[in-house]
A and B are shown apart, each in its own frame.
Chain A
Amino acid sequence: MTGPTHAELRAATDDLRDELAAATEAVPGVVRLEPTLRNALRRLQAGTTVLANGRAARSAADGIELHRRGEVVDVHVDVATAADRAAGATAREVRQALARVLVAHALEPGSLTVAVLSVER
């Protein structure tokens, strides 16, 4: 059996990104992921992916950047936080949530960074 196709790998990465996005947004104090020019550009470059069975792969969640280095995964997240919870505490919890998702996929958390871009009241 041949290994996963490029497209399948891309789709799997998109699934992972979606899960990381969901975990981030579930953290109390996170208002939303913030799309930035940087992570939007990367999305455009990636383009849409069509799998062998004809399905289109889901597009990457805005606000999340993933880099895989073998089994190690680096994640960067841009978020907006709510004013009623200290941004530092929220960011810390987001990082923990990212690590949990990666571990659940038998991946090793690499560099996990969280940037709070705005605080909303």
Chain B
Amino acid sequence: MTPDADPSVVQPLDAGAYEEWDDASLVGRAASGDDSAFAVLVRRYQGPLFRHALRLTPDRRLAEDIVQEAFLTAWRRLPTLQTPEAFRGWLYQITTRRSIDAFRARRPEQPVDTTAPELDGLVAAEPGPEARAEQRAQLGDLAAALQELPVAQRAAWAMREVDGLSYEEVAVALGVPVSTVRGRIARARRELVERMGSWQTTRD
């Protein structure tokens, strides 16, 4: 991009350069109506958000619908976002909330998970040994163990340890205080470590 080329016609930003932009700049741009900037954000987050929704409601089509709706909601409400840095946590918040709602809609009768009052009724049913073995074969040890965690712990742990969100962002995503997030992730960690007793890893 030569800054002093023909000054009579200023060219728009080379599309490739956008892909390198930081989230906050893209968000700032999109908040003022730049849909090309928003498209970069979509491409950047569609995979992680999709996988996050899939972890919480294992239906592919539903997960896609949820994430699509999340992006659309984000686009509509972007002008109201106070700080561009809050975008990622906010995206995960919209996605998590809808995933939980979808899950709740499909499984109305469940025992209460006392560790997560805001996620009443969403304890994953403990799969039997055969199902577990099949899951492990398909997903690998950690992924299978994750699916056995209560949803509240699974969501918190995965957002932090797989998606790399900060504790504050996870707190925003789940609508709970940071202290609750720390407790939940610690519990998830203890559960996963306990289940590792029977894991084979390539290191062994």
Which residues does A use to contact B, with CB under 8 Å? 83-84, 121
Contacts and interface: CB of A to CB of B under 8 A. Distances in A.
Nearest to B12: A121
6 contacts: A83-B9, A84-B9, A121-B9, A121-B10, A121-B11, A121-B12
A121 B11 CA distance: 8
Nearest to A84: B9
Contacts of B12: 121
Contacts of A83: 9
Contacts of B10: 121
Interface of B: 9-12
A23 to B, nearest CB: 28
A83 B10 CA distance: 10
Contacts of A84: 9
A83 B11 CA distance: 11
Nearest to B8: A84
Contacts of B11: 121
Nearest to B9: A121
Contacts of B9: 83-84, 121
In the complex, the 6 A-B pairs of residues with the closest C-beta atoms, listed nearest first: A121-B9, A83-B9, A121-B12, A84-B9, A121-B11, A121-B10
Nearest to A121: B9
B113 to A, nearest CB: 45
B98 to A, nearest CB: 26
Nearest to B11: A121
A91 to B, nearest CB: 21
Nearest to A83: B9
A121 B9 CA distance: 8
A84 B10 CA distance: 11
A121 B12 CA distance: 9
A83 B8 CA distance: 10
A29 to B, nearest CB: 15
A31 B9 CA distance: 17
Nearest to B10: A121
A84 B9 CA distance: 8
A86 B110 CA distance: 65
A38 to B, nearest CB: 18
A121 to B, nearest CB: 6
Contacts of A121: 9-12
A84 B12 CA distance: 14
A84 B8 CA distance: 8
B150 to A, nearest CB: 45
A83 B6 CA distance: 14
A84 B6 CA distance: 13
